[in-house]
């Protein structure tokens, strides 16, 4: 029988571990990105949605400046004394929740009086579904309530990104945190990462479902591949004399090809064309034009495979085998270098597609992928 991860589970385990009842339980979802990869930190466009898999943060108050954090997924309790050192050295998985504590204290000027945290999650780690943002946003929205900080959802999302950038050391954009904070049922989030305008886009999936195919190739945004892609984008901005890659239009690609080395040009080409695909996808979902969505997903995946070079053979196989089995659209999702692909599949065909993907992986000598469907869900909230 599968373990049910929910607010009650988090509250119960908190009490068993720490010996008293938590002040409350807050949660935030992971996200699946429909389209718009590596565009967020280039002031571009993205179309993610919050998924129905969440991280729950049970929190109880202390008065000694000590913060203790434990997780259902990791052994032991990490203890940090913010009362002695306001910016302690943080590392490992605990840098995600404790980094948020540090950043929010700096932003709000609120001294860390101390508390205990217990985290429980059913968002897969390393799968490209933003388990890190789910942790950050769950803890951040909790502290915003507990400290009565009055931060907006955008403020909280940006605090989560700042923690991941400065404490964890991962040079990510803020798409994941915005999706986790602003998610709505049955809708994707159309985010302009230059203006920070957020708009819910009803998806109208009807008899279709989003199938996640987690290759179980673990990735990390704090390691070299992601950072090197961001460095290439920053280099192109300097050479082209623009503020961000968002300022480069398709009409400027010939000029970019002349000025940039071949590899950097391909990175730029991906970002420029991906922004256009996001805009077209918003229109296609609005019109329920699944043929167009399939073409956009295919072009996006090809661009990530060939121009941005962040796909892997296993991700490519997940996409190809799901399409051959009847999915109407498929692409890798997330930062790449492992993780998951997604497919848009008619509900009645989901078992058939899942079986075909598993068979393809087995035939290729890969471990079977972890597969499950997700639906657009509510963003960060207080549960108890």
Whether 67 and 177 map to the same domain: the answer is yes
Distance between alpha carbon 349 and the CA centroid of its chain, in Å? Answer: 27
> Residue 33 pLDDT more than 60?
yes
pLDDT for res 172: 83
Q: Are residues 181 and 239 both part of a single domain?
A: no
In a domain, 1, yes or no: no
Q: What is the mean pLDDT of the chain?
A: 94
Average pLDDT value for residue range 312-326? 98
Q: Choose from 82-96, 99-113, 150-164 the range with maximum mean pLDDT.
A: 150-164
pLDDT computed for residue 89 by the predictor? 67
- Please give the share of the chain, as a percent, with pLDDT higher than 70: 96
Q: Is the pLDDT of residue 223 over 80?
A: no
In a domain, 326, yes or no: yes
Among the listed residues 122, 176, 214, 307, the single catalytic one is 176
Where is average pLDDT lowest: 40-49, 60-69, 242-251?
60-69
Residue 335, CA distances (Å) to 37, 77, 80, 85, 338 in order: 7, 30, 30, 34, 8
Contacts of 234 (CB under 8 A, 6+ apart): none
Instruction: Determine the structural domain holding residue 132 and report its residue range.
Output: 7-202+378-382
Among the residue ranges 80-84, 143-147, 189-193, 290-294, the one predicted with the least confidence is 80-84
DSSP 56-102: EEEEEE-SSSEEEEEETTEEEEEEEETTT-SS----GGGHHHHHHHH
Q: Which two tokens stand for residue 86?
A: 């306001």
User: Is the same domain home to 40 and 156?
Assistant: yes
Same-domain status, 193 and 221? no
Tokens linked to 6: 């929910």
Q: For residue 90, what pLDDT is reported?
A: 76
Distance CA 335, CA 332 (A): 9
126 and 221 belong to one structural domain: no
Residue 347 CA to residue 2 CA, distance in Å, equals 22
- Report the CATH number that the domain containing residue 192 is assigned in CATH: 3.30.230.10
Provide the pLDDT for residue 84: 67
pLDDT beyond 90 at 73:
no
Annotated catalytic residue 64: no
Question: Are residues 179 and 126 part of one domain?
Answer: yes
Q: Please indicate, yes or no, whether residues 276 and 195 belong to a single structural domain of this protein.
A: no
Note whether 292 and 282 are within 8 A (CB). Answer: no
CA distances from 372 to 11, 27, 192, 233, 305 (A): 26, 21, 29, 33, 23
The CATH number linked to 297 is 3.30.70.890
pLDDT for position 75: 82
Q: Is residue 228 part of a domain?
A: yes
User: Do 234 and 122 fall within a single domain?
Assistant: no
pTM for this entry: 0.92
Does 149 lie in the same domain as 77?
yes
Contact 117, 59 (CB under 8 A): yes
Are both 261 and 133 inside the same structural domain? no
Q: Are residues 153 and 254 in the same domain?
A: no
Spatial separation of the C-alpha atoms in residues 351 and 368, rounded to whole Å: 15
Instruction: Identify the band that residue 225 occupies on the pLDDT scale cut at 50, 70 and 90.
Output: confident
**Which residues are bridge partners to 61 per DSSP?**
115
Total domains in the chain come to 2
């Amino acid at each position: 029988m599968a373990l049910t991860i929910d607010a009650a589970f988090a509250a119960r385990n908190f009490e068993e571990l720490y010996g008293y009842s938590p002040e409350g339980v807050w949660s935030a979802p992971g996200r699946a990105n429909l389209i718009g990869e590596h565009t967020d930190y280039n002031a571009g466009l993205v179309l993610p949605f919050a998924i129905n898999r969440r991280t729950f943060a049970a929190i109880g108050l202390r008065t000694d400046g000590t913060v203790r954090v434990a997780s259902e997924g990791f052994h032991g309790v990490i203890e940090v004394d913010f009362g002695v050192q306001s910016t302690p050295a943080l590392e490992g998985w605990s840098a995600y929740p404790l980094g948020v504590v540090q950043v929010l204290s700096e932003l709000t000027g609120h001294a860390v009086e101390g508390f205990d945290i217990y985290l429980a999650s059913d968002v897969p780690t390393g799968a490209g579904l933003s388990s890190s943002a789910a942790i950050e946003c769950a803890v951040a929205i909790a502290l915003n309530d507990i400290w009565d900080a009055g931060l907006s959802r955008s403020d909280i999302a940006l605090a989560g990104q700042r923690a991941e950038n400065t404490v964890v050391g991962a040079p990510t954009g803020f798409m994941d945190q915005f999706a986790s904070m602003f998610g709505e049922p049955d809708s994707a989030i159309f985010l302009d990462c230059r203006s920070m305008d957020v708009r819910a886009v009803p998806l109208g999936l009807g008899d279709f479902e989003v199938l996640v195919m987690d290759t179980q190739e673990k990735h990390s945004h704090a390691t070299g591949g992601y950072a090197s892609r961001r460095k290439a984008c920053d280099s192109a901005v300097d050479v082209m004399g623009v503020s961000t890659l968002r300022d480069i239009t398709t009409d400027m690609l010939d000029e970019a090809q002349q000025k940039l080395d071949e590899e950097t040009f391909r990175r730029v080409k991906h970002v420029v064309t991906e922004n256009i695909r996001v805009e077209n996808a918003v229109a296609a979902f609005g019109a329920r034009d699944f043929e167009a969505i399939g073409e956009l997903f295919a072009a996006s995946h090809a661009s990530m495979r060939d121009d941005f070079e962040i796909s892997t053979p296993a991700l490519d196989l997940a996409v190809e085998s799901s399409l051959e089995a009847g999915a109407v659209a498929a692409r890798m999702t997330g930062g790449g270098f492992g993780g998951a692909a997604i497919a848009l599949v008619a509900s009645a065909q989901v078992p058939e597609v899942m079986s075909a993907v598993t068979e393809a992986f087995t035939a290729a000598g890969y471990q079977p992928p972890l597969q499950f469907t997700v639906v657009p869900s509510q963003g960060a909230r207080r549960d108890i």
